[in-house]
Amino acid sequence: MGDTLNPVVILDSTAVHGRRPFTRADSALLLALVRTGRIRLVIPEVVLYELSRQWAKDLADRRRDFRKAHAAINGVLADADVATVTSSVAPSLGRSVFYDAAATMLTRNGVEVPRYPEVPLGDLLERDLDERKPFASTGKGFRDALIWETVKVICAGVAPSTPVLFVTNNSGDFCVSKRDRTLHPDLRAEMPDLEAFEVVPFLRASLEHGAIKPLAEVLRVVEGAFTAQHVADLVKTALQGLEGAVPEPDFDLFGDDDRYEHPFRTSLSDAVFDRIFPDMGTIGYEVYHTGDQGEMTLTVGIEADCSLDGFIDRNMGSADGYAYYEDWSREMLRVIEHPRRARFVLSAAFTAATIDSVELTVDEVEEITLLTPLATHGGARELKR
Protein backbone atom coordinates (compact mmCIF):
# COMPACT_ATOMS: atom_id res chain seq x y z
CA MET A 1 0.00 0.00 0.00
CA GLY A 2 3.00 2.31 0.44
CA ASP A 3 3.49 5.07 2.96
CA THR A 4 0.22 6.57 4.11
CA LEU A 5 -0.94 8.61 7.05
CA ASN A 6 -4.35 6.90 7.12
CA PRO A 7 -4.69 5.10 10.45
CA VAL A 8 -3.99 1.37 10.27
CA VAL A 9 -6.08 -1.06 12.33
CA ILE A 10 -4.74 -4.63 12.62
CA LEU A 11 -6.98 -7.29 14.14
CA ASP A 12 -5.93 -10.30 16.19
CA SER A 13 -8.17 -13.37 16.51
CA THR A 14 -9.44 -12.15 19.89
CA ALA A 15 -10.80 -8.97 18.31
CA VAL A 16 -13.30 -10.68 16.04
CA HIS A 17 -14.11 -13.95 17.77
CA GLY A 18 -17.64 -14.54 18.93
CA ARG A 19 -21.02 -13.15 18.08
CA ARG A 20 -21.46 -11.80 14.51
CA PRO A 21 -17.80 -10.84 14.04
CA PHE A 22 -18.27 -8.95 10.76
CA THR A 23 -21.88 -7.71 10.99
CA ARG A 24 -22.03 -6.29 14.52
CA ALA A 25 -22.05 -2.50 14.78
CA ASP A 26 -18.36 -1.87 15.48
CA SER A 27 -17.30 -4.17 12.63
CA ALA A 28 -19.79 -2.55 10.25
CA LEU A 29 -18.45 0.89 11.14
CA LEU A 30 -14.82 -0.15 10.59
CA LEU A 31 -15.75 -1.65 7.22
CA ALA A 32 -17.49 1.59 6.27
CA LEU A 33 -14.34 3.55 7.17
CA VAL A 34 -12.33 1.24 4.92
CA ARG A 35 -14.73 1.56 1.98
CA THR A 36 -14.66 5.35 2.23
CA GLY A 37 -10.85 5.41 2.25
CA ARG A 38 -10.47 6.74 5.79
CA ILE A 39 -8.51 3.85 7.35
CA ARG A 40 -6.64 0.69 6.45
CA LEU A 41 -8.04 -2.44 8.05
CA VAL A 42 -5.78 -5.50 8.16
CA ILE A 43 -6.81 -9.02 9.15
CA PRO A 44 -3.81 -11.35 8.89
CA GLU A 45 -4.48 -14.54 6.98
CA VAL A 46 -3.60 -16.54 10.10
CA VAL A 47 -6.44 -14.81 11.95
CA LEU A 48 -8.93 -15.72 9.24
CA TYR A 49 -7.71 -19.33 9.29
CA GLU A 50 -8.31 -19.45 13.05
CA LEU A 51 -11.79 -17.93 12.73
CA SER A 52 -12.66 -20.43 10.00
CA ARG A 53 -11.60 -23.29 12.24
CA GLN A 54 -13.80 -21.95 15.05
CA TRP A 55 -16.80 -21.54 12.74
CA ALA A 56 -16.44 -25.07 11.36
CA LYS A 57 -16.17 -26.48 14.88
CA ASP A 58 -19.19 -24.50 16.05
CA LEU A 59 -21.25 -25.85 13.15
CA ALA A 60 -20.12 -29.42 13.88
CA ASP A 61 -21.03 -29.03 17.56
CA ARG A 62 -24.45 -27.61 16.75
CA ARG A 63 -25.13 -30.37 14.20
CA ARG A 64 -24.32 -32.95 16.86
CA ASP A 65 -26.62 -31.25 19.39
CA PHE A 66 -29.38 -31.07 16.80
CA ARG A 67 -29.14 -34.79 16.02
CA LYS A 68 -29.20 -35.66 19.73
CA ALA A 69 -32.25 -33.46 20.34
CA HIS A 70 -34.02 -34.91 17.30
CA ALA A 71 -33.36 -38.47 18.47
CA ALA A 72 -34.59 -37.63 21.98
CA ILE A 73 -37.84 -36.15 20.63
CA ASN A 74 -38.50 -39.23 18.54
CA GLY A 75 -37.79 -41.40 21.56
CA VAL A 76 -40.51 -39.63 23.53
CA LEU A 77 -42.95 -39.84 20.62
CA ALA A 78 -42.31 -43.56 20.28
CA ASP A 79 -43.18 -44.06 23.96
CA ALA A 80 -46.53 -42.43 23.25
CA ASP A 81 -47.00 -44.57 20.13
CA VAL A 82 -46.96 -41.42 17.99
CA ALA A 83 -45.33 -41.35 14.58
CA THR A 84 -41.80 -39.99 14.70
CA VAL A 85 -40.86 -36.78 12.91
CA THR A 86 -38.23 -36.23 10.27
CA SER A 87 -36.03 -33.19 10.12
CA SER A 88 -33.14 -32.13 7.94
CA VAL A 89 -29.90 -30.97 9.51
CA ALA A 90 -27.60 -28.29 8.13
CA PRO A 91 -24.88 -29.63 5.83
CA SER A 92 -21.41 -30.28 7.17
CA LEU A 93 -18.95 -27.59 6.04
CA GLY A 94 -15.19 -27.60 6.28
CA ARG A 95 -13.18 -24.58 7.37
CA SER A 96 -12.16 -23.80 3.77
CA VAL A 97 -15.77 -22.92 2.93
CA PHE A 98 -15.92 -20.41 5.78
CA TYR A 99 -12.49 -19.03 4.92
CA ASP A 100 -13.34 -18.47 1.25
CA ALA A 101 -16.64 -16.76 2.05
CA ALA A 102 -15.10 -14.45 4.65
CA ALA A 103 -12.04 -13.63 2.53
CA THR A 104 -14.25 -12.76 -0.45
CA MET A 105 -16.44 -10.46 1.63
CA LEU A 106 -13.50 -8.74 3.32
CA THR A 107 -11.47 -8.11 0.17
CA ARG A 108 -14.61 -6.83 -1.59
CA ASN A 109 -14.87 -4.23 1.18
CA GLY A 110 -11.22 -3.21 0.87
CA VAL A 111 -9.88 -5.12 3.88
CA GLU A 112 -6.32 -6.41 3.53
CA VAL A 113 -5.83 -10.11 4.28
CA PRO A 114 -2.05 -10.52 3.97
CA ARG A 115 -0.41 -13.91 3.93
CA TYR A 116 2.07 -14.49 6.72
CA PRO A 117 5.67 -13.78 5.68
CA GLU A 118 8.16 -16.56 5.10
CA VAL A 119 9.91 -17.05 8.43
CA PRO A 120 12.74 -19.59 8.74
CA LEU A 121 11.68 -22.46 10.96
CA GLY A 122 14.96 -22.14 12.84
CA ASP A 123 14.11 -18.55 13.78
CA LEU A 124 10.76 -19.61 15.22
CA LEU A 125 12.38 -22.48 17.10
CA GLU A 126 15.00 -20.16 18.58
CA ARG A 127 12.30 -17.71 19.62
CA ASP A 128 10.33 -20.53 21.24
CA LEU A 129 13.36 -21.87 23.12
CA ASP A 130 14.27 -18.37 24.32
CA GLU A 131 10.66 -17.92 25.52
CA ARG A 132 10.43 -14.60 23.73
CA LYS A 133 6.89 -13.32 23.27
CA PRO A 134 4.49 -14.19 21.86
CA PHE A 135 5.75 -17.69 22.75
CA ALA A 136 4.93 -18.90 26.26
CA SER A 137 7.11 -21.09 28.44
CA THR A 138 4.91 -24.03 27.43
CA GLY A 139 5.83 -23.58 23.77
CA LYS A 140 2.37 -22.27 22.92
CA GLY A 141 2.28 -19.35 20.52
CA PHE A 142 3.01 -20.55 16.97
CA ARG A 143 -0.01 -18.84 15.38
CA ASP A 144 0.55 -15.74 17.50
CA ALA A 145 4.15 -15.61 16.25
CA LEU A 146 2.95 -15.66 12.63
CA ILE A 147 0.44 -12.91 13.40
CA TRP A 148 3.22 -10.86 14.96
CA GLU A 149 5.48 -11.35 11.92
CA THR A 150 2.61 -10.04 9.77
CA VAL A 151 2.21 -7.01 12.06
CA LYS A 152 5.91 -6.20 11.67
CA VAL A 153 5.70 -6.34 7.87
CA ILE A 154 2.68 -4.01 7.84
CA CYS A 155 4.36 -1.55 10.21
CA ALA A 156 7.55 -1.52 8.16
CA GLY A 157 5.59 -0.13 5.22
CA VAL A 158 3.98 2.90 6.88
CA ALA A 159 5.27 6.36 7.70
CA PRO A 160 6.68 6.78 11.24
CA SER A 161 3.87 9.11 12.30
CA THR A 162 1.07 6.84 11.06
CA PRO A 163 -1.31 5.74 13.84
CA VAL A 164 -1.27 1.94 14.05
CA LEU A 165 -3.70 0.14 16.36
CA PHE A 166 -3.21 -3.55 17.12
CA VAL A 167 -6.54 -4.82 18.43
CA THR A 168 -6.02 -7.80 20.74
CA ASN A 169 -7.39 -8.97 24.05
CA ASN A 170 -4.58 -11.49 24.35
CA SER A 171 -2.58 -9.55 26.92
CA GLY A 172 -0.83 -12.70 28.08
CA ASP A 173 1.07 -13.09 24.81
CA PHE A 174 1.34 -9.58 23.40
CA CYS A 175 1.29 -7.19 26.36
CA VAL A 176 3.26 -6.48 29.53
CA SER A 177 0.45 -7.86 31.72
CA LYS A 178 -3.32 -7.88 32.11
CA ARG A 179 -3.10 -4.57 33.97
CA ASP A 180 -0.48 -3.02 31.68
CA ARG A 181 -1.84 -3.39 28.16
CA THR A 182 1.16 -1.82 26.46
CA LEU A 183 3.20 -3.87 24.02
CA HIS A 184 5.54 -6.39 25.66
CA PRO A 185 9.22 -5.27 25.66
CA ASP A 186 10.23 -8.38 23.65
CA LEU A 187 7.95 -7.21 20.86
CA ARG A 188 8.58 -3.48 21.21
CA ALA A 189 12.29 -4.12 20.61
CA GLU A 190 11.45 -5.55 17.18
CA MET A 191 9.24 -2.68 16.07
CA PRO A 192 10.25 0.09 13.72
CA ASP A 193 10.28 3.48 15.42
CA LEU A 194 6.60 4.16 14.98
CA GLU A 195 5.44 7.14 16.99
CA ALA A 196 1.81 6.05 17.30
CA PHE A 197 1.72 2.25 17.66
CA GLU A 198 -0.78 1.22 20.34
CA VAL A 199 -2.45 -1.93 21.61
CA VAL A 200 -6.21 -1.72 22.26
CA PRO A 201 -8.29 -4.62 23.62
CA PHE A 202 -11.53 -4.46 21.64
CA LEU A 203 -13.00 -3.19 18.37
CA ARG A 204 -15.04 -0.67 20.33
CA ALA A 205 -11.83 0.71 21.86
CA SER A 206 -10.36 1.21 18.40
CA LEU A 207 -13.39 3.26 17.36
CA GLU A 208 -13.03 5.41 20.48
CA HIS A 209 -9.34 6.06 19.83
CA GLY A 210 -8.40 9.65 19.08
CA ALA A 211 -7.16 8.79 15.58
CA ILE A 212 -10.34 6.93 14.59
CA LYS A 213 -13.22 8.60 16.44
CA PRO A 214 -13.26 11.84 14.38
CA LEU A 215 -13.35 9.76 11.19
CA ALA A 216 -16.30 7.72 12.44
CA GLU A 217 -18.15 10.91 13.41
CA VAL A 218 -18.30 11.84 9.73
CA LEU A 219 -20.52 8.79 9.15
CA ARG A 220 -22.90 9.59 11.98
CA VAL A 221 -26.48 10.40 11.00
CA VAL A 222 -27.47 13.67 12.65
CA GLU A 223 -31.17 13.72 11.81
CA GLY A 224 -33.44 11.63 13.99
CA ALA A 225 -33.98 8.26 12.31
CA PHE A 226 -35.47 6.97 15.57
CA THR A 227 -37.30 8.55 18.46
CA ALA A 228 -36.03 7.87 21.97
CA GLN A 229 -39.23 5.93 22.73
CA HIS A 230 -38.79 3.77 19.63
CA VAL A 231 -35.25 2.86 20.68
CA ALA A 232 -36.39 2.16 24.25
CA ASP A 233 -39.09 -0.20 22.98
CA LEU A 234 -36.56 -2.01 20.77
CA VAL A 235 -34.21 -2.44 23.74
CA LYS A 236 -36.95 -3.80 26.01
CA THR A 237 -37.99 -6.34 23.39
CA ALA A 238 -34.42 -7.50 22.77
CA LEU A 239 -33.53 -7.87 26.45
CA GLN A 240 -36.78 -9.64 27.29
CA GLY A 241 -35.88 -12.14 24.60
CA LEU A 242 -32.69 -13.00 26.48
CA GLU A 243 -34.47 -14.22 29.61
CA GLY A 244 -33.87 -17.95 29.78
CA ALA A 245 -31.02 -17.73 27.26
CA VAL A 246 -27.53 -19.00 27.98
CA PRO A 247 -24.93 -16.20 28.38
CA GLU A 248 -22.32 -18.61 27.05
CA PRO A 249 -21.32 -19.23 24.30
CA ASP A 250 -23.47 -16.59 22.55
CA PHE A 251 -22.03 -13.75 24.61
CA ASP A 252 -18.57 -15.07 25.37
CA LEU A 253 -15.28 -13.24 25.16
CA PHE A 254 -12.14 -14.61 23.59
CA GLY A 255 -9.60 -13.62 26.18
CA ASP A 256 -6.10 -14.08 27.46
CA ASP A 257 -4.38 -17.37 26.70
CA ASP A 258 -7.14 -18.27 24.22
CA ARG A 259 -9.62 -19.07 26.98
CA TYR A 260 -13.33 -18.60 26.50
CA GLU A 261 -14.41 -16.26 29.25
CA HIS A 262 -17.96 -16.14 30.58
CA PRO A 263 -19.15 -12.51 30.56
CA PHE A 264 -20.23 -12.87 34.21
CA ARG A 265 -18.30 -14.01 37.24
CA THR A 266 -20.35 -16.97 38.40
CA SER A 267 -19.90 -20.43 39.85
CA LEU A 268 -23.29 -21.61 38.58
CA SER A 269 -23.56 -24.60 36.31
CA ASP A 270 -25.80 -24.31 33.23
CA ALA A 271 -26.39 -20.62 33.97
CA VAL A 272 -29.08 -18.74 32.05
CA PHE A 273 -30.42 -15.20 32.30
CA ASP A 274 -33.21 -15.11 34.89
CA ARG A 275 -34.50 -11.54 34.77
CA ILE A 276 -33.11 -8.45 33.06
CA PHE A 277 -34.19 -4.98 34.21
CA PRO A 278 -32.90 -2.26 31.85
CA ASP A 279 -32.08 1.13 33.36
CA MET A 280 -33.58 3.43 30.74
CA GLY A 281 -31.78 6.40 32.26
CA THR A 282 -28.48 4.99 30.97
CA ILE A 283 -29.52 4.43 27.36
CA GLY A 284 -27.52 6.01 24.58
CA TYR A 285 -27.69 5.41 20.84
CA GLU A 286 -26.22 6.50 17.54
CA VAL A 287 -27.01 5.88 13.88
CA TYR A 288 -24.26 5.63 11.25
CA HIS A 289 -24.10 5.35 7.48
CA THR A 290 -22.41 1.98 6.95
CA GLY A 291 -23.27 0.97 3.38
CA ASP A 292 -23.12 2.22 -0.18
CA GLN A 293 -26.79 1.54 -0.89
CA GLY A 294 -28.35 3.47 1.97
CA GLU A 295 -27.56 0.90 4.65
CA MET A 296 -27.36 2.28 8.17
CA THR A 297 -26.50 0.81 11.56
CA LEU A 298 -28.18 1.60 14.86
CA THR A 299 -25.97 0.99 17.90
CA VAL A 300 -27.34 1.18 21.44
CA GLY A 301 -25.66 1.00 24.83
CA ILE A 302 -27.57 0.49 28.06
CA GLU A 303 -26.98 -0.70 31.62
CA ALA A 304 -29.26 -3.30 33.16
CA ASP A 305 -29.57 -5.25 36.39
CA CYS A 306 -29.73 -8.96 35.66
CA SER A 307 -29.76 -12.18 37.64
CA LEU A 308 -28.63 -15.65 36.63
CA ASP A 309 -30.51 -18.90 37.18
CA GLY A 310 -28.49 -22.10 37.49
CA PHE A 311 -27.30 -24.97 39.63
CA ILE A 312 -24.86 -25.31 42.51
CA ASP A 313 -23.70 -28.11 44.75
CA ARG A 314 -26.03 -28.50 47.74
CA ASN A 315 -23.10 -27.84 50.08
CA MET A 316 -22.90 -24.30 48.68
CA GLY A 317 -26.58 -23.54 49.23
CA SER A 318 -26.00 -21.16 52.13
CA ALA A 319 -23.20 -19.23 50.44
CA ASP A 320 -23.50 -15.47 50.11
CA GLY A 321 -24.74 -14.30 46.77
CA TYR A 322 -27.33 -17.04 46.28
CA ALA A 323 -31.05 -17.14 46.95
CA TYR A 324 -32.53 -20.60 47.47
CA TYR A 325 -34.92 -21.51 44.70
CA GLU A 326 -35.74 -25.22 44.72
CA ASP A 327 -34.35 -28.68 45.35
CA TRP A 328 -33.19 -30.25 42.12
CA SER A 329 -31.56 -33.49 43.20
CA ARG A 330 -29.84 -35.01 46.19
CA GLU A 331 -26.64 -33.23 45.18
CA MET A 332 -27.79 -30.07 43.44
CA LEU A 333 -29.86 -26.96 44.18
CA ARG A 334 -31.37 -24.69 41.58
CA VAL A 335 -30.66 -21.12 42.64
CA ILE A 336 -30.79 -17.54 41.49
CA GLU A 337 -27.79 -15.35 42.06
CA HIS A 338 -28.19 -11.85 43.39
CA PRO A 339 -28.46 -9.35 40.53
CA ARG A 340 -25.44 -7.73 38.96
CA ARG A 341 -25.17 -4.58 36.89
CA ALA A 342 -24.10 -5.17 33.29
CA ARG A 343 -23.65 -3.06 30.21
CA PHE A 344 -25.25 -4.32 27.01
CA VAL A 345 -24.31 -3.15 23.52
CA LEU A 346 -26.94 -3.91 20.88
CA SER A 347 -27.18 -3.09 17.21
CA ALA A 348 -29.25 -3.49 14.06
CA ALA A 349 -28.65 -2.88 10.38
CA PHE A 350 -31.45 -1.30 8.36
CA THR A 351 -32.42 0.86 5.41
CA ALA A 352 -35.15 3.45 4.98
CA ALA A 353 -37.38 0.68 3.64
CA THR A 354 -36.84 -1.63 6.64
CA ILE A 355 -36.74 0.88 9.49
CA ASP A 356 -40.19 -0.16 10.76
CA SER A 357 -39.11 -3.80 11.18
CA VAL A 358 -35.80 -3.26 12.98
CA GLU A 359 -34.84 -5.81 15.63
CA LEU A 360 -31.86 -5.29 17.92
CA THR A 361 -29.41 -8.09 18.64
CA VAL A 362 -26.76 -8.18 21.34
CA ASP A 363 -23.16 -7.45 20.32
CA GLU A 364 -21.54 -7.65 23.74
CA VAL A 365 -22.23 -7.91 27.46
CA GLU A 366 -19.90 -6.60 30.13
CA GLU A 367 -20.40 -7.09 33.86
CA ILE A 368 -20.00 -3.89 35.86
CA THR A 369 -20.71 -4.85 39.48
CA LEU A 370 -22.59 -7.32 41.69
CA LEU A 371 -25.73 -5.97 43.38
CA THR A 372 -27.69 -6.93 46.49
CA PRO A 373 -30.25 -7.96 47.52
CA LEU A 374 -32.22 -10.10 45.07
CA ALA A 375 -35.45 -8.19 45.67
CA THR A 376 -34.03 -4.95 44.22
CA HIS A 377 -36.87 -4.99 41.70
CA GLY A 378 -40.49 -5.62 42.47
CA GLY A 379 -40.75 -7.87 39.45
CA ALA A 380 -38.26 -10.38 40.79
CA ARG A 381 -39.44 -13.96 40.74
CA GLU A 382 -41.13 -15.22 43.90
CA LEU A 383 -38.74 -17.69 45.52
CA LYS A 384 -39.88 -21.08 46.70
CA ARG A 385 -38.99 -21.90 50.28
Average pLDDT along the chain: 82
CA–CA gap between residue 278 and residue 283 (Å, rounded):
9
DSSP string, 160-216: TT--EEEE---HHHHBS-SS--SBPHHHHTTS---SSEEEESSHHHHHTSTTTHHHH
Residue 258: is its pLDDT beyond 60?
no
**Number of CB atoms found within 10 A of residue 343's CB:** 14
Q: Which residues pair with 370 in a beta bridge?
A: 340
The pLDDT tens digits for 282-319 are 999 999 999 888 899 999 999 999 888 888 887 765 55
The pLDDT tens digits for 76-130 are 888 777 777 777 777 888 889 999 999 999 999 999 999 988 887 877 777 767 6
Q: Which residues pair with 306 in a beta bridge?
A: 276, 340
How does residue 30 score in pLDDT terms, banded at 50, 70 and 90? Answer: very high
Domain ranges of the chain: 8-217, 228-376
Q: CA torsion angle for 352, 354, 355, 358 (degrees, to 10)?
A: -150
The per-residue pLDDT for 19 is 61
Of 116, 115, 69, 105, the residue nearest 89 (C-alpha):
69
φ, ψ for residue 341, nearest 5 deg: -90, 130
How does residue 256 score in pLDDT terms, banded at 50, 70 and 90? Answer: very low
How does residue 250 score in pLDDT terms, banded at 50, 70 and 90? Answer: very low
Between 286 and 322, name the one with better pLDDT: 286
The per-residue pLDDT for 336 is 86
Beta strand 164-167 with 8-11: parallel, antiparallel or unpaired? Answer: parallel
The per-residue pLDDT for 267 is 77
Least confident of 92-96, 148-152, 336-340: 336-340
Residue 272: is its pLDDT beyond 90?
no
